[in-house]
Structure 1
Amino acid sequence: MHNNKKYMIKKIIYLMTFITLTAFSRTMAQQRESFTGAKAELEHYNALYIINTADEKHINSTLRNIKNVLEDPRLKGKLTVEVIAFGDGVNLFQKSGNFLEKLADLKNKGVILAQCENTIRERGIPKDQLLPYISYVPTGNGEIVIRHYQGWATVHP
């Protein structure tokens, strides 16, 4: 009789474990199915994209990320985007570069295109070699620090 009691207790424990795991699995599946991402509940958002590399694959990826965020339905009409280029990122804004069409499109969508003056001064690059519609900031790192403390999201893909 004693072994039969142990057997019944084990059976009850296994059954309870199975029921608990099944309920947990269903709850997790429901949570996954109902999740639709973060809600854009603020009136406005700001994002600073950092480009400090000459790697064209990386730059193209960053420009594509910016295009995607501008098309996010949650952020439509609520987003200001700035691109800050410094260091090797100066290639982004050169008139002879490979990004002219993409940059013109972003500029037309209201994206702020900013170049670090420190970089062009150190490298001896005249402003007339860069796109005429970009803006300038004293230092790229200063822009990042200031924007950070203004509450901007900093994106460095």
Structure 2
Amino acid sequence: MKKITYLFVLAFLSFVGSTMGQTNDASAFHGAQPTKERYKAVYQLNTADTNVIRHALANIQNALNDPRLKGKLDVELVVYSGAVAVYKKDKPYFEKEVTSLQKQGVIMAMCENTMRIRKINRDELFPVVSYVPTANGELIIREQEGWAIIRP
């Protein structure tokens, strides 16, 4: 028992001694470093709130512009429920941003379940939109594939 106590005390003192000289120097921190070849993120959007939609689109653009992720990022925007407004031709408030993001490789996915419930036809949406059977199914599959799920 004395030997175990002695080893524990030695380990504790070694740990304390190794951390004594450390400081929290904020200028030394530069964020997480990219160690993978590819990164994947799926953004989910389910509200018609224009501020939330603008925020989500800006977040996607910010991620694409991050120098650590440049050329290494796959992004999908999954839209369902009231967020269908982001893809509607008759309310083109977001057409410029959506088209720009799609040209940068972002998958613009629309939930067909929402379309069925809300009686929306494909011709009512921007031509850059892709379709998934259900948003929830898409999010479940993407998460299991290792995609980061972002909820703006």
Q: Same fold (TM over 0.5)?
A: yes
Q: 1:122 aligns with which of 109, 117, 124?
A: 117
Q: Give the drift of 1:27.
A: 3.5
Superposition RMSD on alpha carbons, in Å? 1.4
Q: Give the aligned partner of residue 54 of structure 2.
A: 60
Q: Give the aligned partner of residue 12 of structure 2.
A: none
Q: Give the aligned partner of residue 144 of structure 1.
A: 139
Q: How do 1:1-157 residues align onto structure 2 when only pairs under 5 Å count?
A: 27-30=22-25, 32-97=26-91, 98-157=93-152
Provide the secondary structure at the position in 1 that maps to 2:23.
helix
Aligned length: 133
Q: Give the drift of 1:96.
A: 2.1
* TM-score for both structures, normalised by structure 2: 0.84
Provide the secondary structure at the position in 1 that maps to 2:44.
strand
> Deviations 1:118-147 (Å, cap 9, x if unpaired)?
000111111111111210000000000000
Q: Give the drift of 1:36.
A: 0.3
Which consecutive unaligned segments of at least 5 residues does structure 1 have?
A: 1-22
Which consecutive unaligned segments of at least 5 residues does structure 2 have?
A: 1-18
Identity among equivalent pairs (%)? 44
How far apart, in 1, do the equivalents of 2:90 and 2:103 lie?
20
Q: Give the drift of 1:149.
A: 0.1
Q: Give the drift of 1:49.
A: 0.3
* TM-score for both structures, normalised by structure 1: 0.81
How far apart, in 2, do the equivalents of 1:48 and 1:29 lie?
33
Bigger radius of gyration among the two: 1
Provide the secondary structure at the position in 2 that maps to 1:28.
coil
